[in-house]
Structure 1
Amino acid sequence: MPELNSLLSVSLSLCLIALCEFTPHFMAIHRTGRRILRGFSMAAGLHLLAAPLPLPLLGQDVFLIISAAGGAFILALVLSQLRKHVYARYYALSVLAIVLGAVISSLRTIGWLPVTPLTDSAFFLGAAAGSLILTSGVGRLLLEERKRRLSSDIRVQEEQKLRARIERDYDRVLKTHRVTGKPNRPMLEETLGNIDCQQTPYTLCLIRLARFNELEQALGYRTAEDLLKQYLRLLNRYLKRTLGDRLIMINGYGIATLDTVNHAFAMDRGSDPAQDRELLETVSHWLSENFREGRFSFSWAASMGVAYAPEHGTDAASVLSSAGFASLDETRPMAIYDPAIADWQYQQQILMLDVEDALRCGDMWLEYQPKVSIRDGKVRSTEALIRWQHPEFGRIPPDHWIPLAEQVGIIHSVTLWVLDQACQDFTALRQRYGDSIGVAVNISAKDVAHPLFHEEAGAITRRHGVSPDRVILEITETAAMADPEVARSAIRTLSSMGFRIALDDFGSGHSSLGNLASFPLDELKIDRSFLQDILLYPVRQKILRAALELGEALDLDVVVEGVEDEAIALWLQQFPGLHGQGYYWARPERVRAALVSPR
């Protein structure tokens, strides 16, 4: 049947072209394999174009050989990738069916196989079988793709749920405090910012739980935070119950958390200030009561600062700042903002920020006040006294900033600076007062407790070439008694290095004679309070005599502070070996200025 034979030639050519072009898209094939497949495809295409022409060497037998070779090459490529993925197996079976059909048809054409209905239809049966196999593979591929899409849809839904949960959590983080879960400061300020305080005045109260950090150290942060959350829940319910509709709700809560120590609530101002004050005192009384939870019963040491809007601030941040200043008043459980106190607190804060800069830029300097022998008026030593001229606040007395410097922990750098400056001025002091002069420097309890202070002090004296026995380190009685064991050990170390040790302000503290005798002291400075009305009251004279006899019994040099008039100076001359310090003999002055223009 020539017509059927012609159709076979066309179908076989198209099939070879299709397989050669489809294979590189189905599997990853190297460049050489792609080129060979392209060659087979071009040969099949040329044969298809030249089939109607009676050209030599382009007969059906030649094309059958090309088709068999191309099919075998494709089959070899497919078999090499059977282990890589399952669809290569479908493709291999499909190609095998087509190649097998083509081979049978080719063998029938060249006469190697008999002409039968099976051999006549072998290629078409192979192509049909290959199509079915490929269809099965494609169906499986589509099924798995559908599963992947369904899985992707499920993942998308889960991601959307996760994104929604993250957005809710993020919104919660933005609006609530991490520990307590109560509204945070931005939410408080936003709520108060929406209130026109000119039209609707309100009261803002800041509660400071001073003992939280102490409890956190004692119980651990988890237990302390759990107790805090329970306490704030009780406080929130109490405020709702006590203040009622006047309580300003902050994102559904009556109280906001600024940090774990500070919390705030606000209430509308009423027409009766006395009633408002009574409500606040009721809340303050509740805060002062012991908190009981399980086996714990303790006080938070709560203090409440109160500020009024708009009197104490026209915006939420300024009112909150005013309430914060008021809460720092530790003398009262409830304090209303006072601008004068706030100015003082502001000044103290600015001073602490400016201390180190003042030491560097020359705003601080030393003045020296002599200690004299009362009998002959000769200067035996001088005391270095620090002075500060602040560019904004003017002259700052030492008692206005030194106690706070001790609290915040920067006094140690001040002490080292004073000691360094005193050693630097020691040459000028010797020129003025003689070679036997000594210089006294005040040290604090922080310095005594510092483990490296003795090394730092020794390094300073060596750098300036000053013998330690010319330096008197004055420590107050109160500082020495703060931790007697630590003070005793530090003073012994300093004394062994050659430094002379003086106990300052004796009589103003609470030292016992036993503790006093155990310190390796060289000098005892009697507090100025002993001289108050001493000429009028014999009892005061007896007390001073007892203090002087104590110093003599301990073999200490005794210095009486605060001698300001001649009558007291003359009265003190009856005590041999006594030294004095005060305005009667000299006021503190800068030693270098004195050298330029001596008196």
Structure 2
Amino acid sequence: MTAELNGRHRRALPDALLALQQQRFRQILWLLMGAFGAVMLANASLGRWTSASIELAMLGPMLLAYWWNRRGHLVRAAWFLIVTLMLGLTVLMVIGQGLFDEAGMAYPALLVFAGLFGNRRLLLWFTSMMVLSFISVYLLDVSGLMPHSPLPVGPLRAFNVCLIVTLSGFFVWLIVSDLRRVLTRLESEKLALQASHAQIEYLALRDSLTGLPNRVSAKEQLKRLLMDSADSPQMVAVLLLDLDNFKTINDSLGHAAGDVLLCQVADALGMCVGNSGMVARASGDEFFILLGGVQTQDSVDDMVGRIFDTLEQAFPLDGLDVPVTASVGIAMAPGDGNDASTLLEHADMAMYRAKESGRNTFLHFAPDMAGGAVEDLKIASRLRLAIAQNELQLHFQPQIGLRSGRITGAEALLRWQHPEWGLVAPARFIPIAERSGLITVIGDLVMQQACQAARAWRAQGLGELVVAVNVSPLQFQRGNLEAVVSAALNSAGLPTSALELELTESSLLADAQHLSAALQRLSSTGVHITIDDFGTGYSNLGYLRRFAVDRLKIDQSFVRRMCANPHDEGLVRAIIEMAHCLDLQVVAEGVEDAATRARLAEFGCEFGQGFHWSPALPMDAFVAFVRAHPAQGLQTH
């Protein structure tokens, strides 16, 4: 049973607490052996050999208990020692002065000892045994079997009483010091736990990078602002601010620099808004600004103006002064919604419309934005199915050599023929495809279909026509466009000279360093590179010299008006002359009449496309058009 109790005790106590109890047991044993040795010597000096012999005999069990304790059997040693001490003290009482004997005074100290090293059952058991021993001594006394009488008070009795009190005090001191230590540790753990909870709460409600309140905290604050303004004529405004072109900074300077910029912007917004509202980080490069107690919409617009003025001050970053612009969407309660979720959603819609409007601007939420968002979601969902069901098809608009009149190639234009909606305009679904990430899948599909079409043209004897494919900036950002182009050409068995890639100026500026290297590699293989819609973007001559570009494509908005508007004609002529100075060929799109074609040829423009010759045609119709064209043949680039 003892071994079993000892095993349970060890399992119940942590190692540190068990080691402390073993240490305390050793200390008490040394003190007890010293006390019994001193009493034994005192009794022997007075000739009380019986008491001295009993006290000497008790030293043996104490040594055995000490050995068991060193072996890790604490409970066994405690039981054994307490039983030995109780029997020894009882015998001393019986042969001594009975209930008058000072040995009885040691019982309370023995109970403290049992409480320190035993368990509740051990303590109750020994309490009962001690009470029975007192009753037994009393009965022996009153029955006359072993009467006792008090001896005169002497030095030995005083010594024994002082020794018992000292031992009892030592036991109590051990209990109090250990209890104080436990309480101190518990208080320390309580403080640590409170600090941990505070840190967890901070992390749950704060952004770890900027230290601003996070989205959860902002939403709770917005709820409080709405409750406070429920019975007030004042309004609540939610501003969602998104940094423009932040990805370019991350890609060019690194994410560490991007994090530094976010912290700088957070500090700048906080100083700009001050105590008039809350600035929170929504996610990534998006920030919330919550304003309560708003009197008029103009005051919100003034705040946005101050924010834009603040951001216009360039931020120092890695030795550069980096300018920052932002797109801001605004939703206001109660006009745009009465609950936090609705206002946040409407601010998000307005922010995306601001981005679509050219960025570096702000827009207030309007009801038609919600309808447009639902429609966009419906188109994005249906577009995935359209890809799987081959509803997306290519049409081809011929490109004509202006001097020879020959068909040199065609631009592949994507069309979506929905079974219920009819023909969905590319301007409607292409931006949605870009926002949803589907553009990369669609781009790969277009590249494959265009190359297969060019192979079919050659197999049908139409000549070495070049197919032009529009490339989205996201396809370059994904980083595998070169592999996609190579796979499409190899699958169709086409030479690289049969493919032309058309990119807009804005895509060239999005990630200039990466694009320059990629375009250089593609151009070196023989793939033609064309800048599409030239004149509507930055029109930066430095970029034209830097990139491996073969042709410029003048935007149709200029070409269509050139015969009616001298300014547009001058602009078209200037673009053509500039391109020739840079050894670039020119394609004019949007040619709709013979007069425009003649003027373009007069200015030296090499190629044209437009309704003057043909709109974009399905595959079979395009083949028929080429075969019927009077000047059918190949005009080399």
TM-score category by the smaller chain?
0.5 to 0.7
Match of 1:493 among 521, 535, 555: 521
CA distance in 1, matches of 2:305, 2:594: 55
- 1:250-287, Cα deviation, whole Å (9 max, x unpaired): xxxx53636264224344576xxxxx244334434443
Q: Write the mapping of 1:100-179 to structure 2, written as runs, cut at 5 A.
A: 124=95, 136-141=109-114, 142=116, 143=171, 144=174, 179=211
RMSD value over aligned CA atoms? 5.5
**CA distance, structure 2, for counterparts of residue 97 and residue 547 of structure 1:** 113
CA distance in 2, matches of 1:518, 1:282: 41
* Aligned partners of 2:592 and 2:611 also within 8 Å: yes
Q: Verify the 8 A CA contact 1:284 1:333 in the aligned structure 2.
A: no
| Residue in structure 1 matching 2:239, options 202, 206, 214 | 206
Q: Is the 8 A contact 1:203 1:269 kept in 2?
A: yes
Query: After superposition, what is the alpha-carbon deviation per residue over 1:534-572, rounded to whole angstroms, capped at 9, x for unaligned?
Result: 445778767756765676777766533212124434666
- For residues 600 and 265 of structure 2, the distance between their equivalents in structure 1, rounded to whole angstroms, comes to 61
Contact 2:534 2:555 in 1 (8 A): yes
> Which of 212, 220, 224 matches 1:191?
224
CA pair 467-133 structure 1, distance change in 2 beyond 3 A = same
Residue 560 of structure 1: which of 588, 602, 617 is its match?
A: 588
**Partner Cα distance (1:284, 1:513) in 2:** 34
**Deviation sequence 1:293-314 (CA, Å, 0-9, x none):** x999999756664434343224
Conserved? CA contact 2:402–2:606, under 8 Å: yes
Q: How does 1:61-460 map to 2 (within 5 A)?
A: 78=65, 81-84=68-71, 124=95, 136-141=109-114, 142=116, 143=171, 144=174, 179-181=211-213, 184-192=217-225, 194=227, 202-206=235-239, 208=241, 210=243, 221=259, 225=263, 228=266, 232=270, 235-237=273-275, 239=276, 254-255=277-278, 257=280, 259=282, 261-268=286-293, 276-290=296-310, 301=325, 305-328=329-352, 329=354, 335-344=363-372, 358-374=386-402, 377-389=405-417, 395-400=423-428, 402=430, 411-430=439-458, 434-445=462-473, 447=475, 451-460=479-488
Aligned to 2:614: 586
Distance 1:74 1:123, change over 3 A: farther
- Counterpart contact for 2:65–2:78, Cα < 8 Å: no
Within 5 Å, which residues of 2 pair with 1:456-467?
A: 456-467=484-495
Separation in 1 of the partners of 2:482 and 2:502? 14
AA partner of residue 501 (structure 1): I
Quick check: 1:491–1:520 contact (8 Å CA) kept in 2?
A: yes
How far apart in 1 are the matches of 2:541 and 2:86? 116
Question: Which residue identity lines up with residue 303 of structure 2 in the other structure?
Answer: V
Quick check: 1:177–1:184 contact (8 Å CA) kept in 2?
no
Tell me the SS of whatever aligns to 2:335: coil
- Whole-angstrom CA distance in 1 between matches of 2:463 and 2:274: 71
Contact 1:561 / 1:582 at 8 angstroms: preserved in 2?
yes
Tell me if structure 1 keeps the 8 A contact 2:504–2:532.
yes
The Cα shift of 1:384 comes to 0.4
**Aligned-residue offset at 1:200:** 5.6
CA apart distance, 1:383: 1.1
Distance change in 2, residues 1:507/1:269 (3 Å): closer
- Number of residues of Structure 1 aligned to a counterpart in Structure 2: 500
Q: For residues 450 and 373 of structure 1, what CA distance do their matches in structure 2 show?
A: 34
Larger mean Cα displacement after TM superposition, 168-177 or 135-144:
168-177
Secondary structure class of the residue paired with 1:425 = helix
When residues 175 and 481 of structure 1 are mapped into structure 2, their CA distance, relative to the original with a 3 A threshold, is: closer
Instruction: Classify 1:312/1:368 alpha carbon distance in 2 versus 1 (closer, same or farther; 3 Å).
Output: same
Q: Percent identity?
A: 23
> Against the structure 1 CA distance between its residues 332 and 584, is the aligned structure 2 distance closer, same or farther, given a 3 Å change threshold?
same
For 1:168 and 1:200, the matched residues in 2 are separated by 37
Write out per-residue CA displacement over residues 440-493 of structure 1, whole angstroms, 9 at most, x where no aligned residue: 112245555665422331122112222222222233455456666655543332
Q: CA–CA distance in 1 between the matches of 2:360 and 2:92? A: 110
Matched-pair contact (CA < 8 Å) for 1:189–1:317:
no
CA separation in 2, counterparts of 1:79 and 1:323? Answer: 77
Secondary structure of the residue that 1:180 maps to in structure 2? coil
Once residues 150 and 321 of structure 1 are traced to their aligned partners in structure 2, the CA distance between those partners, rounded to angstroms, is: 56
| Contact residue 256 and residue 265 of structure 1 kept, 8 A | yes
Structure 1: how far apart are the matches of 2:79 and 2:574?
116
Q: Could you tell which deviates more after superposition, 383-392 or 196-205?
A: 196-205
Q: Hey, what's the Cα distance between the residues in 1 that align with 2:271 and 2:586?
A: 60
SS at match of 2:468: strand
SS at match of 2:501: strand
Do the aligned residues in 2 keep the contact of 1:492 with 1:520 (CA within 8 Å)?
A: yes
| Stretch deviating more after TM superposition (578-587 or 489-498) | 489-498
CA separation in 1, counterparts of 2:67 and 2:453?
A: 95
Rg (Cα) greater in structure = 1
Equivalent residue for 1:62? none
Q: Which amino acid aligns with 1:320?
A: L
Q: What is the deviation of 1:366?
A: 1.3
SS of aligned partner of 1:583: coil
Whether the 8 Å CA contact 2:531–2:551 is kept in 1: the answer is: yes
Q: 1:490 to 1:277 in 2, by over 3 A?
A: closer
The separation in 1 between residues aligned to 2:261 and 2:535, in whole angstroms, is 44
Please report how far the alpha carbon of residue 318 of structure 1 lies from its aligned counterpart in structure 2 after TM superposition: 1.4
Per the alignment, residue 117 of structure 1 pairs with none
Q: 1:147 to 1:515 in 2, by over 3 A?
A: closer
Decide whether the 8 Å contact of 2:212 with 2:279 is kept in 1: no
Alignment of 1:499-578 (within 5 A): 499-508=527-536, 516=544, 522-535=550-563, 558-569=586-597, 578=606
Structure 1: distance between partners of 2:482 and 2:245: 35
Deviation of the 1:320 alpha carbon: 3.1
1:159 and 1:379 map into 2 onto residues whose CA distance is 84
User: 2:266 is aligned with what amino acid?
Assistant: L
Determine helix, strand or coil for the equivalent of 1:586: coil
State the 1:150 CA deviation: 5.7
- Give the TM-score normalised by the residue count of structure 1: 0.63
Q: Deviations over 1:372-426 (max 9, x none)?
A: 3446654321110112357898755434554676688764443322111112333
Of the structure 1 ranges 337-346 and 347-356, higher mean CA displacement relative to structure 2 is found in 347-356
Q: 1:533 to 1:225 in 2, by over 3 A?
A: closer
2:448·2:488 contact (CA, 8 Å) conserved in 1? yes
Deviation at 1:582, TM superposition (A): 1.0
Contact 1:371 1:579 survives alignment (8 Å) = yes
Say which is worse superposed, 325-334 or 497-506, in terms of deviation: 325-334
